Structure 1
Amino acid sequence: MNKPVQPSMTAAYFAQCVISFGVALGSVTLGVLYLPIDAWIRAFLAIAVLYTVTSAFVLAKCIRDRHEVANMASRIDQARLDKLLAEHDPFKVDAS
């Protein structure tokens, strides 16, 4: 039997998500370090926090997708095994 094609996330996309999260966290940290409370800095912090939150959601999605792909493969294999066991009858006599 052919195994079904599973969608997978590329290593580049995963790295991009991790780097994006790091850049977002770094930008908030730098913003907090240089906080003289001017209006443009407050705006920068607001955008940086929004960027951090969205990057965190993307990173969480990547981790979830990677986990689901691993679980899907094991569920498919388990379903095939269950089907074979259900169809197997040790007391069946071949009518040859």
Structure 2
Amino acid sequence: MSNPASAEHSSAWVSFTYASFIGSVAMMVGGILYLPLEIWVKGYMLMGVMMLIQSAITVTKTVRDVHESRKLLNRIEDAKTEQLLMRIDTGK
């Protein structure tokens, strides 16, 4: 189901967001690898970064899904209201 009210992102914007994400992960991993710490500390920090990335992706998907479901619910309620108003208008 397509939503005409939502704007499609340009391919340049999508490419920029992927490049930005990959660049930030690479810089964070590089920074962790070059820290003057023992390997187990670096591994712990890397696990934390990976979990942070995973949870950020999960939160953004959940926020989007909740927003989309509310839009659908509002459209259903609007359709019911419109149907009720049509019944009232035809009854006069």
What's the counterpart of residue 64 of structure 2? Answer: 66
Structure 1: which 4+ aligned runs deviate by more than 6 Å?
none
Matched, 1:51 2:36: no
Q: Which has the higher helix share?
A: 2
- Decide which moves more: 48-57 or 82-91: 82-91
Matched, 1:85 2:83: yes
Distance 1:50 1:87 in 2: 55
Aligned counterparts of 2:39 and 2:87: Cα–Cα separation in 1:
73
Q: Give the Cα separation in 1 of the matches to 2:87 and 2:65.
A: 35
Larger RCO: 1 or 2 (CA < 8 Å, sep 6+): 1
Residue aligned with 1:89, SS:
helix
SS of corresponding position for 2:38: helix
Unpaired runs of 5+ in structure 2? Answer: 1-12
Where 2:87 maps in the other structure, the secondary structure is: coil
The correspondence for 2:21, drawn from 19, 22, 37, is 19
Equivalent pairs, count: 68
Q: Calculate the aligned-residue CA RMSD, in Å.
A: 3.3
Deviation track 1:23-58 (CA, whole Å, cap 9, x = no partner) reads 27x93xxx6xxxxxxx71110000110111122101
Higher gyration radius (CA): 1
TM-score (ref. length: structure 1): 0.53
Gaps (5+ residues) in structure 1?
A: 1-10, 32-38
Tell me which amino acid in the other structure corresponds to 1:23: V
